[in-house]
Amino acid sequence: MKEKIRVGIAQIHSILGNVEKNLEKHLEFIRMAREKNVELLVFPELSLTGYLLKDIAYEISDEATIALEKIRDLTESMCVVVGLVREKRYGIYENSVAYICNREIVGYYSKLYLPNYGLFEESRYFKEGDVEDVKVFKWDGWKIGSIICEDAWHPEPAELVSRLGADVVVVHSASPIRGLYNRGDTVLERIWESIIVTRAVENSSYVIFANSVGPEDEEFFWGGSMIVAPDGEILARGKKMEEDLVVADLDIFLLRSARRFSSYKIHRKDIHDLLSLLG
Amino acid sequence: MTYSHYWDELMGVLPPINTERVADYIVKRLRWYVTVYAGKKSGIVGVSGGVDSAVTAVLTARALGPENTFLYILPSYSTPEEDIEDARFVIEFLKIPDENWEMIDVDPIVEALENQLGGMTKVERGNATARVRMIILHQRAYRHNGLVIGTGDKSELLIGYFTKYGDGGVDVMPIGGLYKTHVRQMAKYLGFPDRIAYKPSSPRLWPGQTAEGELGISYEILDQVLYLRFEKMLKEEQISEILGLKLDTVKMIIKRVKTTQHKRLPPEVFHIGMRDLGSDWRYPREWF
């Protein structure tokens, strides 16, 4: 296993429903990341399609799947994770990310918790991912797992990929602006930071928060992506409200030290057994 | 009046906005909306001398540049002289080039309508005046390859205090998410004098018309009721208790919001086919 891995977040502004334009943007960021020797590059939720698709969600997966092939060509010695609508069965769609490593599409992760409150109506369009399908991906000896946005607001999805072996948990997101009240950051920005730091510490893993940025339909995604170490330290932050390529080096040493000096090694199965019986 | 003084009077219910970030956000969003989404070049704003249009004009000029901002003063017989002076102040304040602003008297146009249609009541004439202004702004918008930038704030939009297809007939509403109280806060942040920032609100559709006179309540109180009901989702009884307001007053405000719903939505289309406009039509606004 390599002692260090260089990771990047492509904090991009996707154009809603325009896979062609978004593909260009993906290729541009992959080239930029390659110049900075990034080995793992992650994109936000539904990065190839845009997030607020509404009924376009039914008709965009074919184009997005074709775009994956174009991305493949640029991934030599690199692992790239992109968001897309995936047609799991005919007419059944999932909010997914695809792992494309060294010119191969090596697998998918589909969102487990679909939000349906406020502006969100994901269950109208998507099926929840199957827990049995969740896996982690190996790259340069590092194990990487993904979860998507709302998944991070619950402890289990991050815990699941972590217990499956992930050293790095990627949270692909499309978090919009809300509540620009009072001074400083909004409530949502503060909550996201707390969540990402908590997921890192409770799982003794690196957590990468890759958020969308810019206007989309009636929303504006705020960016502010983060790379957090297993001890909760924020290693890198993306700009707010504009596109950015965020880069940091992850080091095995920090994983070791965090796991040595935490209770991560303890996993109470009985608690999970009981939880599974509760509503 | 100082900012904190002003805020203290609001009993701390409605939180202030983060002016710097809100201004930055609206400017970014408006620039994208006009130039990318709509593919236009300029923004057209009717400036009345009031706080809403003053704030909207600044944000438009920041988003598109003064050279792409076109401001129109559209006075009628019921427009006080000081409003015209304040509208001119906004134009000077923003360094709008001379060829980018005009003052057009709307009375002859309204009179022509009245000559053709017969005498109008006070309210009919007021609504006609608002709609004449709308026509002028859209004509100029077409000429300057621009969008009509609405000046409606959240308080007015929620209680339906605007003329349908008049001041409501615009292309985009950048400050429609700000309560009047927040617009005043923003006006101070943007550097406007108190005379504009705290000017009593009025559509000036007839002489002596003021919003508070018509509504029977100040915007500061109104905004707190709207905030507590629709953002915090409290019951009318709770709001009455928290704000020390009569329950009937709270009910009157909420009723106004409900009965003006038609003004905020596109006209209803009756369903015939398998997928019609309206509830079936779940396509995003951004649809290229």
Nearest C-alpha in A relative to B17: A181
Taking only residues 37 to 66 of chain B, the set having a beta carbon closer than 8 angstroms to any beta carbon of chain A reads 37
Q: Which of A25, A39, A45, A94 is catalytic?
A: A45
Split at pLDDT 50, 70, 90, the class of A4 is very high
pLDDT at residue number B203: 83
B-chain residues near A220 (CB < 8 A): 25, 28-29
CA distance A85 to A95: 5
Q: Where are the domains of chain B?
A: 3-210
Contact A15 B288 (CB under 8 A): yes
Mean pLDDT score of chain A, rounded to an integer? 96
Split at pLDDT 50, 70, 90, the class of A217 is very high
Q: Is the ipTM of this complex over 0.95?
A: no
* pTM for the predicted model, two decimal places: 0.93
A-chain residues near B15 (CB < 8 A): 181-182
Of the residues A120, A181, A241, the best mutation for testing chain B's interface (the one with the most B CB atoms within 10 Å of its CB) is A181
Sequence-distant (≥ 6) Cβ neighbours of residue A92 within 8 angstroms: A127
Contact A180 B287 (CB under 8 A): no
CATH of domain A4-277: 3.60.110.10
Return the SS3 of B94: coil
Min mean pLDDT across A137-141, B133-137, B284-288 is at: B284-288
pLDDT at residue number A184: 83
pLDDT at residue number A113: 98
Q: Where are the domains of chain A?
A: 4-277
Q: How many C-alpha atoms does A268 have within 13 Å on its Cβ side?
A: 6
Q: Which residues pair with A257 in a beta bridge?
A: none
pLDDT at residue number A34: 98
Pick from A180, A186, A217: CB nearest B286: A217
Cα distance from B3 to chain A (closest Cα, Å)?
13
Task: State the residue for tokens 């509830």.
Answer: B279
The answer to whether A180 contacts chain B (CB < 8 Å) is: yes
Q: Which of A149, A150, A189, A216 is catalytic?
A: A149
CA distance A82 to B7: 46
CATH of domain B3-210: 3.40.50.620
Taking only residues 49 to 108 of chain A, the set having a beta carbon closer than 8 angstroms to any beta carbon of chain B reads 50, 52-56
Give the Å distances, CA to CA, from A170 to A27, A132, A179, A255, B157.
20, 19, 26, 15, 41
Q: What share of chain A is helix, strand, coil (3-state, %, to 5)?
A: 30, 30, 35
pLDDT at residue number B1: 44
Pick from B29, B33, B282: CB nearest A55: B282
Average pLDDT over residues A71-89: 97
